[in-house]
């Protein structure tokens, strides 16, 4: 009887593990703050509300339309006003983005470009995009260096 129970638990553990892996596959952003980790799939990010930016970039040709969650809205969601965001890409490349950048009409975590979801090949699943055409302040090497693509993790450091 005990070995049957062990076999059943092992089988259930495998099923639960497969379910967890499937859920992890849907996660496009992992956010860590104060020792707590929160994961977001596309729908969860969209539920925060989206913003659209039309701008040119140094990586694309002509004006592009980006849609995503503003950094300001994300900061509001996790209730932080100061500190630094350590934004990390799929390949473990990390940049520092001061929370001071998280302002209204500022950068977004773009999920789409010209209405299409961005694949990893196309700088997705998330790309930090500033409204570069809005002001010369957004057209500097410092800002360009913060425009990380293939973003999948953010850690808040205060």
Residues of the chain with pLDDT under 50: 1-23
Q: Which two tokens stand for residue 51?
A: 């913003």
Q: What are phi and psi of 122, to 5 degrees?
A: -105, 35
pLDDT score recorded for residue 25: 61
pLDDT score recorded for residue 158: 87
| Assigned CATH for 27-157 | 3.90.420.10
Neighbours of 122 (CB within 10 A): 13
Q: Are the beta carbons of 102 and 72 closer than 8 angstroms?
A: yes
Domain boundaries, the chain: 27-157
Torsion angle of C-alpha atoms 74, 157, 134, 109, degrees rounded to 10: -40
pLDDT score recorded for residue 75: 95
What pTM did the predictor assign?
A: 0.83
When the pLDDT of each residue in the chain is averaged and rounded to a whole number, the result is: 87
């Amino acid at each position: 009887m005990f070995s049957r129970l062990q076999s059943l638990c092992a089988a259930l553990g495998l099923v639960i593990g497969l379910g967890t892996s499937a859920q992890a596959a849907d996660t496009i952003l992992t956010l860590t703050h104060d020792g707590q980790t929160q994961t977001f799939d596309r729908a969860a990010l969209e539920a925060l509300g989206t913003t659209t930016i039309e701008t040119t970039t140094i990586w694309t040709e002509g004006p592009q339309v980006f849609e995503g969650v503003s950094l300001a809205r994300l900061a509001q969601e996790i209730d932080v006003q100061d500190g630094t965001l350590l934004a990390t890409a799929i390949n473990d490349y990390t940049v520092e983005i001061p929370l001071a950048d998280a302002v209204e009409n500022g950068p977004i975590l773009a999920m789409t470009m010209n209405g299409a979801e961005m694949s990893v090949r196309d700088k997705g699943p998330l790309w930090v995009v500033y409204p570069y055409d809005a002001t010369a302040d957004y057209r500097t090497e410092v800002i360009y260096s913060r425009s990380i693509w293939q973003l999948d993790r953010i850690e808040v450091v205060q």
